A and B are shown apart, each in its own frame.
Chain A
Amino acid sequence: MITEDQTNQAVAEILSSYKKEKKNLIPLLQEVQTKLGYLPKKTMQEIADFLEMPRVEVWGVATFYNQFRFVPLGKYHTMVCMGTACHLAGGRLILEALERELDIKVGETAEDGNFSLERVACIGCCMLAPVIVIKDKINPKMTPFKVEEVLASYKQDIQKGKS
């Protein structure tokens, strides 16, 4: 876990590397999210003050784009591709299987912080449809059955980490 001091320091460092120009709002939000994993409310306020723009405008931009998140992601962030090819190859079944197996809904992070689930539009791997991405690793040609298998290996890793 990152402490509050570390968060403050990281945000201060990022802010100091940007000019106070409005066009830097999205790059700033992106860099903060890359660093912290999500956009804390306090940080968005700091960005607004830094760029000397209304806080509501920063909130408006951040909530407009699909990329930005306002809750921390799970350790194993899982993205389900919902592009056309994946949909036609049964993407909805994969999504349902993930929700069932992880016991969370799309957009949520599990209480223990291990998994979070998100749907994304095409990631451009249509020939391997349907695909899911777990912690940046692309898993091709999924079936509901394979979802169980893939998740089992991650769950095993989590168990090992505990013991």
Chain B
Amino acid sequence: MVNVTFEEINNRAKSEWEALQKGSYILVGTATCGRAAGALDVVDAFNKELTRQGLEVPIIQVGCTGLCYADPLVVISKAGSLRVVYANVTPETVHRLVEGYVAGDDPCLELALGTLEGGDGEAVYIPELPRFEHELRLILRRCGYIDPENINHYIANGGYSGLEKALKVSPEEIVGELKKSGLRGRGGAGFPTHRKWELCRKAKSTPKYVICNADEGDPGAFMDRVVLESDPHQVIEGMIIAGHAIGAEQGYIYVRAEYPLAIERIQIALKQAKELGFLGDNILGGDFGFHIEIAAGAGAFVSGEETALLAAVEGRMSTPRPRPPYPAESGLWNKPTLLNNVKTFAYVPLIIERGAGWFASIGTEGSKGTAVFTLAGKVADSGLAEVPMGTTLRELIYDIGGGIAKDKQFKAVQIGGPSGGCLPETLLDIPIDYDSLRETGSMMGSGGMIVMDEDNCIVDAARFFLDFSTKESCGKCTMCRLGTLQMLNILEDITAGRGKIEDIDLLLALAEDVKIGSLCGLGKTAPNPVLTTLHYFRDEYEAHILEKRCPARVCPELTVYYILPDKCDRACEHCVLTCPTEAIKGDKGEVKVIDQEKCSKCGTCLEVCPPEYNAVVKLSPVSLLPSSNLSGKGGGK
């Protein structure tokens, strides 16, 4: 029992935050993405350098700003001066930054991505970057700027005031606000959130449960991870409000085991929330009590399906069951259970705090608010973006993502992972909302967006997703377990040059069967990557089947590496020395030749051939290989 009011907690948090702003401090983004880019080494380097120079400046490890392409990202904040953001910081540049801007007055603009305050003229003003013309950051607004392990940073920036407000109004009114806001589930299907809440609220059976689905299994999506690693309290606050609205006292956050840092940061957040009385038996001194536990997933994509997730929390094999009954009526241990995605819960405190009307004014007719996407693949500036619903795919990929990396040609954008589809250039002007995307045969999904360029093979991409779905099928439904496997076998034949033209019709027929014959979303959507690629990129399938040609020169059986004799510098031996299978022959002074029988098609020779020669090329179909290069019986088959 904590005997302090929210006002006191709020004041204390604000004074801590203001005190911080009065001095200098350094923010280093150490979410998983930052760590992978070496952010922890940067933190170490700052610590050493500050000690060496006898400076006492706090280093705060924050989450991710979404500008992942610039990781490791550092912000140096000085009272009365510009806050400067530095991109791709290395331990070697730390010395310069400390001497230049922490100790001195030189903002080291040559190393900076830009500044967070305008008016200087010399430096790029970050909010004026083209991407921020389109972005509207709601649930990402604090990510990367507050310490996720310090609850006071969250409170000082508006945190827990939604909960304070929610506790003063009735559950009916909260659900009513959600209805007015038009919020739809951010897990992918887009079910109206208020309807789940209302069903749960009205359910008679007790106890009731609130579950946050953080089983972000879509390979290529990581926004839930970033939200949990950067600003976990907003999700916790949303869950507590949900508990109040439906009459539940227990919540679970189901996080996938592959996200250890997210689990660690949620644990810290839960502990701090409890200490301040936002969780526990008498929240903020009132009668309402709510508790949250973490349930760590054990690695199963199907656990993202709600009934399979319930089975996992109960300690069973994660397999789905038929609905109805829906979890809202009979969920965890057959009790009414509210299941929402991480981002759905994160929007709730904001909607309560700023009002449903405000939220409903953002977005399109049928899809309100913002959408958070991860942009990855062959896009120049990969990372996270939050845009109002209705923004076009083109704006997202070109204005926010900076277009295609290395001036390559755009080929497709894959949205929604193994459940979604590949869309071609001609569809880039459609607005991003649940309904427009569904019409294309793709789906909003959880928000993973992977851009493919001319070097990516569409058939191989479809094969990749089918392979994933086949591996992750729980095995309960025959069509999902074996139908996807049949489809995969056909795709493997096509990518290996063994395809027949009638395979295309067979794939289409199987796709329908798998959709109809599967119980849950995994099987029902598993054919989508194949169906959309067949619809929009049929010519690539036909090239594989009829010409034995892989247009992107990716499929190993249809592609060979070849060294152009006129371009090969005879004195250079880069390829010979690095080839892992010793497949390249040619003594010093001779043109190098690849033994096709030994070649593993790893591409190392292409990678190491000096750019001034550029002698290694990929050829498809294999018949393009000049007969003089056919060494041994296996070449050019």
Which A residues contact B (CB, under 8 angstroms)?
21-27, 29-30, 60-61, 64-68, 82-85, 87-90, 93, 96-97, 100-101, 120-129, 131, 138, 140, 143-145, 148
Contact of A121 among B36, B301, B601 (CB under 8 A): B301
Say yes or no for B580: interface residue by CB 8 A criterion: yes
Whole-angstrom distance between the Cβ of B457 and the nearest chain A Cβ? 9
Say yes or no for B518: interface residue by CB 8 A criterion: no
B residues less than 8 Å from A122 (CB atoms) = 217-222, 258
Contact of B299 among A60, A67, A90 (CB under 8 A): A67
Taken together as a complex, chains A and B put the C-alpha atoms of A62 and B252 apart, in Å, by: 21
* A88 engages B456 (CB within 8 Å): yes
Least CB separation from B448: chain A residue = A84
* B220 engages A23 (CB within 8 Å): no
Contact of A64 among B217, B300, B383, B600 (CB under 8 A): B300
Taken together as a complex, chains A and B put the C-alpha atoms of A128 and B377 apart, in Å, by: 9
Say yes or no for B607: interface residue by CB 8 A criterion: yes
Whole-angstrom distance between the Cβ of B558 and the nearest chain A Cβ? 14
A residues less than 8 Å from B509 (CB atoms) = none
* B221 engages A60 (CB within 8 Å): no
* A148 engages B222 (CB within 8 Å): no
Taken together as a complex, chains A and B put the C-alpha atoms of A60 and B476 apart, in Å, by: 13
Q: Report B299-328 residues with CB < 8 Å from chain A CB.
A: 299-301, 312-318
Given A85-B376, A125-B33, A143-B607: A101 in contact with B298 (beta carbons within 8 A)? no
Taken together as a complex, chains A and B put the C-alpha atoms of A128 and B382 apart, in Å, by: 9
Interface of A is mostly: helix
Whole-angstrom distance between the Cβ of B349 and the nearest chain A Cβ? 24
A-B contact pairs, 18 of them (CB 8 A): A22-B315, A25-B316, A61-B316, A66-B298, A83-B219, A84-B377, A85-B220, A87-B461, A87-B464, A89-B377, A121-B468, A126-B376, A127-B382, A128-B37, A144-B580, A145-B607, A145-B608, A148-B580
Contact of A100 among B221, B296, B297, B600 (CB under 8 A): B600
A residues less than 8 Å from B450 (CB atoms) = 84-85, 88, 126
Given A84-B219, A88-B452: A23 in contact with B314 (beta carbons within 8 A)? yes
B residues less than 8 Å from A83 (CB atoms) = 219-220
Say yes or no for B345: interface residue by CB 8 A criterion: no
B residues less than 8 Å from A27 (CB atoms) = 295-296
B residues less than 8 Å from A30 (CB atoms) = 257, 296, 298
Taken together as a complex, chains A and B put the C-alpha atoms of A138 and B71 apart, in Å, by: 14
* A96 engages B602 (CB within 8 Å): yes
Whole-angstrom distance between the Cβ of A60 and the nearest chain B Cβ? 6
* A26 engages B377 (CB within 8 Å): no
Chain B count of residues within 8 A CB distance of the other chain? 61
* A61 engages B317 (CB within 8 Å): yes
Taken together as a complex, chains A and B put the C-alpha atoms of A68 and B300 apart, in Å, by: 11
A residues less than 8 Å from B259 (CB atoms) = 124
* A127 engages B219 (CB within 8 Å): no
Least CB separation from A138: chain B residue = B36
Taken together as a complex, chains A and B put the C-alpha atoms of A126 and B378 apart, in Å, by: 10
Which B residues contact A (CB, under 8 angstroms)?
32-33, 35-37, 68-69, 71, 216-222, 225, 257-259, 295-301, 312-318, 374, 376-378, 382-383, 414, 417, 448, 450, 452, 456, 461, 464-465, 468, 472, 474, 578, 580-581, 600-604, 607-608
Whole-angstrom distance between the Cβ of A131 and the nearest chain B Cβ? 7
Given A84-B219, A123-B32: A93 in contact with B603 (beta carbons within 8 A)? yes
Whole-angstrom distance between the Cβ of B66 and the nearest chain A Cβ? 10
* B33 engages A120 (CB within 8 Å): no
* B219 engages A65 (CB within 8 Å): no
B residues less than 8 Å from A67 (CB atoms) = 257, 297-299
A residues less than 8 Å from B608 (CB atoms) = 145
Whole-angstrom distance between the Cβ of A51 and the nearest chain B Cβ? 9
Given A85-B450, A125-B36: A26 in contact with B258 (beta carbons within 8 A)? no
B residues less than 8 Å from A90 (CB atoms) = 603
Taken together as a complex, chains A and B put the C-alpha atoms of A123 and B221 apart, in Å, by: 9
A residues less than 8 Å from B35 (CB atoms) = 138
8 smallest A-B Cβ distances: which pairs? A66-B299, A84-B220, A126-B376, A83-B219, A124-B222, A65-B298, A122-B219, A127-B382
Taken together as a complex, chains A and B put the C-alpha atoms of A144 and B599 apart, in Å, by: 13
Contact of A124 among B32, B297, B456, B604 (CB under 8 A): B32
Least CB separation from B378: chain A residue = A88
* B377 engages A124 (CB within 8 Å): no
The interface centre, meaning the residue of B258, B601, B608 with most chain A CB atoms within 10 A of its CB, is B258
B residues less than 8 Å from A65 (CB atoms) = 297-300, 318
Whole-angstrom distance between the Cβ of B408 and the nearest chain A Cβ? 12
Least CB separation from A63: chain B residue = B317
* B257 engages A126 (CB within 8 Å): no
Whole-angstrom distance between the Cβ of B485 and the nearest chain A Cβ? 18
The interface centre, meaning the residue of A21, A27, A145 with most chain B CB atoms within 10 A of its CB, is A145
Least CB separation from A58: chain B residue = B315
B residues less than 8 Å from A64 (CB atoms) = 300, 317-318, 474
Least CB separation from B224: chain A residue = A124
Taken together as a complex, chains A and B put the C-alpha atoms of A101 and B580 apart, in Å, by: 9
* B383 engages A127 (CB within 8 Å): yes
B residues less than 8 Å from A124 (CB atoms) = 32-33, 216, 222, 225, 258-259
